């Protein structure tokens, strides 16, 4: 598992995907920080946190598009499936590698609240809570997109499918809030990843939503494992 993790992590930087992800995230987050805080000279980061989470919808598919579909296209998935490592460990290692890149991007972006700390005042626990929410929500999107990309046979189609699934997931949450449809309302809101993130935006540590993100991530990875097992038996 450790070898697969190192292989995938090295692959992110060897192919440039890791640099692209981090660079685009910092650029977009920097623009939001400039608009919400620097122009208005505000030390309130709730607006920044409220908007930056939408970046995951666009960028999470970039990280996962080659993890399963890339191996499948190149034929290296057969080597992994015949290695003396369980499929669950393979999927977990790939997921942790992508989560590491996401964590690096978030760590670099911490320079934004540091700038406010230098010239103003911020409540550090609220900032850390906001970043915890960003990390959990981003991790959930990665796991969900890995599940979606497991149906694809090329990185390009994996990106399109994952990005479309992210939009659909978000739009279902927005529509559930706009229309008073009780049966669909509860289901859509329950799986709305962005709505679960809102308490963290305002510095509220929501243990129920932390548990939801953990279970959602675990469930998505579990289904991804089952899809790879089905694919192995189908090819056999």
| Interval 150-205: pLDDT, tens | 888 788 888 899 899 888 888 776 666 555 555 545 565 666 788 889 999 988 89
pLDDT of amino acid 156: 86
Q: Are 163 and 150 in contact (CB under 8 A)?
A: no
pLDDT of amino acid 178: 57
Please tell me the pTM assigned to this model.
Answer: 0.89
Residue 26 has pLDDT above 80, yes or no: yes
Question: Domains in the chain: how many in total?
Answer: 1
Average pLDDT over residues 3-16: 88
Range of the domain at 200: 2-235
pLDDT of amino acid 179: 58
pLDDT of amino acid 151: 82
In the chain, the largest separation of any two C-alpha atoms, in whole Å, equals: 62
Cβ-defined contacts of 106-115 (< 8 Å, 24+):
106/131, 106/134, 106/135, 106/138, 108/22, 108/26, 109/25, 109/26, 109/29, 109/52, 112/29, 112/30, 112/33, 112/37, 112/45, 112/48, 113/45
């Amino acid at each position: 598992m450790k070898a697969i993790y190192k292989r995938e992590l090295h692959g992110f930087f060897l192919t440039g995907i890791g640099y692209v992800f981090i660079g685009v995230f910092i650029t977009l987050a920097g623009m939001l920080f400039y608009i919400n805080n620097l122009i208005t000279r505000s030390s309130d980061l709730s607006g920044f946190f409220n908007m930056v989470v939408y970046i995951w919808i666009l960028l999470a598919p970039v990280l996962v598009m080659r993890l399963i579909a890339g191996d499948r296209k190149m034929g290296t998935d057969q080597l992994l499936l015949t290695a003396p490592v369980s499929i669950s460990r393979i999927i977990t290692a790939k997921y942790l590698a992508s989560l590491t890149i996401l964590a690096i991007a978030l760590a670099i972006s911490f320079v934004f609240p540091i700038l406010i700390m230098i010239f103003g005042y911020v409540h550090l626990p609220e900032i850390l809570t906001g970043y915890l929410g960003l990390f959990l929500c981003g991790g959930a999107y990665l796991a969900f997109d890995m599940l979606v990309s497991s149906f694809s046979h090329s990185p390009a189609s994996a990106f399109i499918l994952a990005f479309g699934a992210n939009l659909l997931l978000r739009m279902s949450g927005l529509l559930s809030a706009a229309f008073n449809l009780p049966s669909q309302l509860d289901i859509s809101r329950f799986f709305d990843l962005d709505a679960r993130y809102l308490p963290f935006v305002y510095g509220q540590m929501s243990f129920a939503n932390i548990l939801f993100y953990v279970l959602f991530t675990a469930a998505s990875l579990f289904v991804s494992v089952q899809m790879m097992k089905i694919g192995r038996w189908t090819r056999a």
